[in-house]
Chains A and B, each alone.
Chain A
């Protein structure tokens, strides 16, 4: 029985060994698969490692770039900071400048307000003073006429003569007051511009001066006249003053010949620094053949109460041309006079068309 047991034991042991060997071979096969797997994974890991190295290089490069950008940004920020400081300085200066302008505007408005009040007062003063001045003047004149009428028999020739001189002086004073009033009215009245045919104005003035024109056998030529944008009653006053002057200052024994012309001219054709080259002007010319004046008086004649002759030679207060100039000023124009003694005078007026 023991021998069977040993061969059985061998068989069992051999079976066990075979089983174990089978198991070991299974294990070996599994190990081989596992090793292949590991080897594959290792390859993969090395690929990953290589990729990581490239990625790291890339990151490093980008970091360098970012640091360059950061450095540039720091410079740019410094620049912005500087410009902001400059802007704040400018803003502060502007605030000061604006305060200054606001202050000046207030001052200007105060001045404008004061001027308006002063003008109103001047107008009232002129009106009242001319009325109040005229009243005692009128009394003087009337009383003198009463005395000359009633006391005619009782007065010596000398006495009569003296009273006549009083009359003449009073008459001059009255004229002076009327002229002053007319002058101040020109600047304080309303300015309404209308397109007007200048012929109409000349005709009205000729009618007003009819008697003097006939008496002096005067000829007034006004053939080429255009339309102008003017203040009617002021311009009529202007033409009246100019034509009446031309009649008054005629050469003794020579019939006055007055020529009035007008045409539209562009500023650049006229050699005058006071005229704008782009604007169109209505050029009105008044020419006479009277006594004229010396060229060096060509500006003074436009001044208020300036005369070139004594009151014995020519009547008048010397305000006629001052009024003319003021009217031209009101029309934003200019006036100039050219003359030679005994050779008449030419007056040139330039008024903007618009």
Chain B
């Protein structure tokens, strides 16, 4: 099941959310390596440095100062090498127009930051399980948002 080692990149300006993410990740059985950056500029700098290996998945927050998640997503999808990097949007807002636009712009999944730690653990686990599958293609809009309700089968 979870045999693959995943290199995870997290981009979030909020230190508490970064703490929650890394704490939750630690409790999961998956073999992972987590790198964290705190704003869009750091993110692009890190990813465009040729000496660095690309991560397997990017968890991207939306509301960040100076360069927000939207802008980062657009830049990534315009870059020949970087557009293959699956981007999972990880955010607090939940307006349908925003989510629709993110799906259109090529994000892989959308996760709304939960209020319970156990939910966070489950959602990250779910995302990682999906990332371990071969042939990752962008899901339909119905399957774009990862929630506990529509993924009970996983």
Contacts and interface: CB of A to CB of B under 8 A. Distances in A.
Interface of A: 131, 134-135, 138-139, 141-143, 145-146, 149, 174
A142 B93 contact: no
A149 B92 contact: no
Contacts of A134: 92
A149 B117 contact: yes
Contacts, number: 30
Interface string B1-30: 000000000000010100010010000000
Nearest to A174: B115
30 contacts: A131-B63, A131-B92, A131-B93, A134-B92, A135-B14, A135-B92, A138-B92, A138-B113, A138-B115, A139-B16, A141-B115, A141-B116, A142-B16, A142-B20, A142-B114, A142-B115, A142-B116, A142-B117, A142-B120, A143-B16, A145-B115, A145-B116, A145-B117, A145-B118, A146-B20, A146-B23, A146-B117, A149-B117, A149-B118, A174-B115
Question: Which of A134, A142, A145, A174 is packed against the most chain B CB atoms within 10 Å?
Answer: A142
Main secondary structure of the interface of A (DSSP, over half): helix
Contacts of A145: 115-118
Interface residues of B, number: 14
Contacts of B93: 131
Contacts of B20: 142, 146
Interface string B61-105: 001000000000000000000000000000011000000000000
Nearest to B93: A131
Contacts of A141: 115-116
A155 to B, nearest CB: 15
Nearest to A140: B115
A272 B3 CA distance: 73
Given A146-B23, A146-B117, 11 more contacts: A131-B93, A135-B92, A138-B113, A142-B16, A142-B115, A142-B116, A145-B116, A145-B118, A146-B20, A149-B117, A174-B115
Contacts of B63: 131
Contacts of B116: 141-142, 145
Contacts of A143: 16
Nearest to B17: A139
A143 B113 CA distance: 13
A152 to B, nearest CB: 12
A131 to B, nearest CB: 7
A141 B116 CA distance: 7
What 3 A-B pairs are tightest by C-beta distance, nearest first? A141-B115, A145-B117, A145-B116
A351 B93 CA distance: 34
Nearest to B20: A142
A145 B115 CA distance: 8
Contacts of B118: 145, 149
